[in-house]
Each structure stands twice: as C-alpha cells, then as structure tokens.
Amino acid sequence: MPYALTEKIDKPTLFSEYADEDYVQLNGLMHKEIGFGDYIYFEAHHHPNIYFIKTGLVRLGYLDAQGNKFVKDILRPGDFFGQVSLQKENLNGEFAQAVKSGVTLCYFTLNCFNNLLANNPKLAMKYTSMSGFRIRRFETRLNNLLRNDVKTRLKIFLDQLLVEVKDSARRIGREVRIPNYLTHEEVAQLIGTSRQTVTTLLNSFKEENICSFSRKEVCFFNQ
C-alpha cells in the first residue's frame, strides 16, 4: 500500500532511522493489516517470512500434542517474529495472532531480508543488537522460572511488564496504570503455574496494596 510522504509513517524500530521515502521504497518490503483475533499464521511449517510489528500486539504460542493452545510471548510494536533465525526452519506448530485490537505489520520473505542485510551493514548490526536483546529477555524469563518461587516469579513478571510498557503508563497520584492485554491463564502459562494460583496471588497482591489486575488495566500502588 503506497503512502503519501506528507503523512507520518509508523516504522518498526529496526527502520526508525530510515527517511520516509527510503522506508517505503525498501526492496521487498510488504505491508499487512490483521484484524482483532485473526491469525497471521497458524501451525506454521517452513513459514517463509519475517515480520516486524508497527502497531498492535501479537500473541505467539504453540499447540501441544492434545491441541491445547499455550502462550509463549506477547509481542509489541518494534518486536519481530517469524523466521527470526534467518534460516528456513520449521516453527514447530507456532502460531501468531493479533491481540486486543488490529495489528499492522511490515514483512519480508526470508530471501529478500537476507539480501537487505547483506547490502546494509549498519542495518545488519542493528538487527544483531535487537536479536541479542530478544535473547536476553528470554534468558531473564528462564532464570525467573528456574530460580524463584511462584509468588516471586509473578512479582518479577509484573515489574518487567511495567518497565516494558512504560510509554503507555498513566500516573494518578502514587498509582501507575498500564493497559492490560493478558488473561490469568496467559499469565500462568508465561510464568509456569496454574490459572488458579495466579488468581489467588493477584488477590493477595491487591490485599497487600501492591497492585490490582483487571481485564482493562494493571494498577501499581505506591509507585
């Protein structure tokens, strides 16, 4: 879809330093809009694309042997997914789905993106840096799972959530409120426990004046 250069263009973080006219003329760049709840791909097998989120949230998950869905990450604007290793791999039943609202993406076939990086060393370095940050984020989550009890894991998870979405936070007195896009079940899957345990702990956090968790927002007290 062409853009008028007088309009502001939402560019993923990787391409934030590109001038608008350079961005829209990137070789192989394609755009896609995904409706709320729609799948970008489902049970991907050798899926050929790498995607960059411009607006909206994307749920990444997988199916177990019984066909149950499990969430492994929620991605935000600036994140990327698909064939992030830059090799044609089986994504092992991974699905990607728009969360809460519509999603706008830009994407490349794997061949086009590899060619783009080969011809743009600075872009390749930036992608490497972003990939390193992504790996560190997963390592932090893994360490949280391995080293801490469930209550500590939930507290760390919520603290990290606040840091990651600080740009959309609202401060009211000593409270900080952020939009919520997770169910109790999804939080449970992300920290390795049961939905019932998450519900119980969130109720105790509210009683302890730490935070409250509703469908629309998470409110952190005494910040």
List, for residues 162-175, the tens digit of each pLDDT value: 888 877 889 988 89
Torsions phi, psi for 103 (to 5 deg)? -130, 140
20 with 123, same domain: the answer is: yes
- Domain final residue pick, 144, 178, 198: 144
Q: How far apart are CA 180 and CA 178, in angstroms?
A: 6
Among 2-16, 21-35, 96-110, 208-222, the range scoring the smallest mean pLDDT is: 2-16
Q: How far apart are CA 51 and CA 85, in angstroms?
A: 12
What is the structure's pLDDT at 28? 92
Question: Can you name the residues that pair with 31 across neighbouring β-strands?
Answer: 106
36 with 87, same domain: the answer is: yes
Q: What is the mean pLDDT of residues 46-74?
A: 88
Among 41-45, 85-89, 195-199, 205-209, the range scoring the smallest mean pLDDT is: 41-45
Q: Check pLDDT > 90 for residue 111.
A: yes
- Domain final residue pick, 91, 125, 144: 144
What CATH number did the domain enclosing 168 receive? 1.10.10.10
Does 196 reside within a domain?
yes
* Closest by Cα among 68, 58, 67 to 37: 58
